[in-house]
């Protein structure tokens, strides 16, 4: 069997992630347009609703400012732009997450997203059925298999229904490629699990919910295992301009 160059695999993975980030940026452009439209309707709303709208807009603008930069072509899973804080694992210093500065609020982005069930390195597969997993393992057996970084979820049923409706109304089959891409983008969501826009509330050391007190935190996945990071440690690092913390 012909061997596959790991560098080629890595380059293709980065190319795919760059494209996903580009589309994510377009998606956020649309969300900001919708927020601008909603802004003009806020005049008669209650103070509570207005405050929630402002908080949503601030989070969206912070994320948009980060995503628009694109990924660093020379570093894996790293956005362009200034990093305020780097989170590393205590045992060996592996990078767990980066906190990026934006024009609005800082954003923490995990290097390897934790999805709640990946305790074993060999189980770090997402969105792959068993047959595909076997094929991938046979082809890339010598290449470290890495889990998905950016989650891309499309509501295919809604996409198909809208395409069918537009074909009937316009009397065009097939629809122009540009319109098909617009429809799919409207019904596709992009995310990185545990990516968080950091706000003042993250400085809390304890939070009570349904009578239970807990410490707000992130779980960050590392090759050393699962690491625990209290959110207030990141806020404290930002306040004191500490560039590196450990989990």
Is residue 39 predicted with pLDDT exceeding 90? no
Is residue 3 predicted with pLDDT exceeding 70? no
Mean pLDDT check: name the lowest of 42-56, 135-149, 203-217: 135-149
- DSSP lists the bridge partners of residue 228 as 219
- DSSP lists the bridge partners of residue 154 as 188
Residues 201-224 pLDDT 10s: 999 999 988 888 989 999 998 888
Split at pLDDT 50, 70, 90, the class of 134 is: low
Is residue 125 predicted with pLDDT exceeding 60? no
In sequence order, what are the residues at sequence separation of 6 or more whose Cβ sits closer than 8 angstroms to the Cβ of residue 186? 30
Is residue 105 predicted with pLDDT exceeding 70? yes
Split at pLDDT 50, 70, 90, the class of 1 is: very low
β strands within the chain, DSSP E: 83-88, 95-100, 107-110, 151-154, 188-191, 196-197, 207-209, 212-214, 217-222, 225-230, 244-246
What secondary structure, in 3-state letters, does 41-105 show?
CCCCCCHHHHHHHHHHHHHHHHHHHHHCCCECCCCCCCECCCEEEEEECCCCCCEEEEEECCCCC
pLDDT of res. 144 = 44
Local structure of 197: helix, strand or coil: strand
Is residue 72 predicted with pLDDT exceeding 70? yes
Q: Where are the domains of the chain?
A: 6-150+192-246, 151-191
């Amino acid at each position: 069997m012909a061997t596959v160059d790991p560098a080629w695999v890595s380059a293709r993975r980065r190319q795919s992630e760059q494209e996903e980030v580009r589309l994510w940026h377009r998606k956020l452009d649309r969300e900001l347009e919708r927020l601008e439209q909603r802004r003009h309707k806020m005049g008669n709303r209650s103070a509570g609703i207005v405050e929630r709208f402002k908080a949503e807009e601030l989070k969206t603008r912070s994320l948009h400012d980060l995503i628009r930069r694109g990924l660093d072509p020379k570093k894996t899973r790293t956005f362009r732009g200034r990093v305020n804080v780097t989170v590393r694992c205590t045992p060996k210093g592996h990078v767990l997450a980066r906190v990026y500065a934006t024009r609005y609020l800082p954003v923490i982005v995990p290097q390897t997203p934790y999805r709640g069930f990946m305790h074993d390195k060999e189980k770090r597969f997402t969105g792959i059925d068993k047959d595909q997993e076997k094929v991938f393992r046979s082809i890339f057996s010598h290449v470290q298999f890495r889990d998905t970084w950016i989650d891309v979820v499309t509501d295919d049923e809604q996409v198909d229904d809208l395409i069918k409706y537009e074909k009937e109304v316009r009397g065009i089959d097939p629809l122009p490629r540009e319109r098909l891409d617009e429809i799919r983008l409207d019904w596709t969501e992009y995310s990185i699990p545990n990516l968080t826009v950091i706000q003042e509330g993250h400085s809390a050391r304890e939070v009570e919910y349904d009578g239970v007190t807990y410490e707000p935190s992130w779980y960050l996945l590392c090759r050393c295992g699962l690491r625990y990071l209290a959110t207030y440690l990141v806020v404290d690092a930002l306040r004191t301009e500490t560039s590196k913390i450990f989990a």
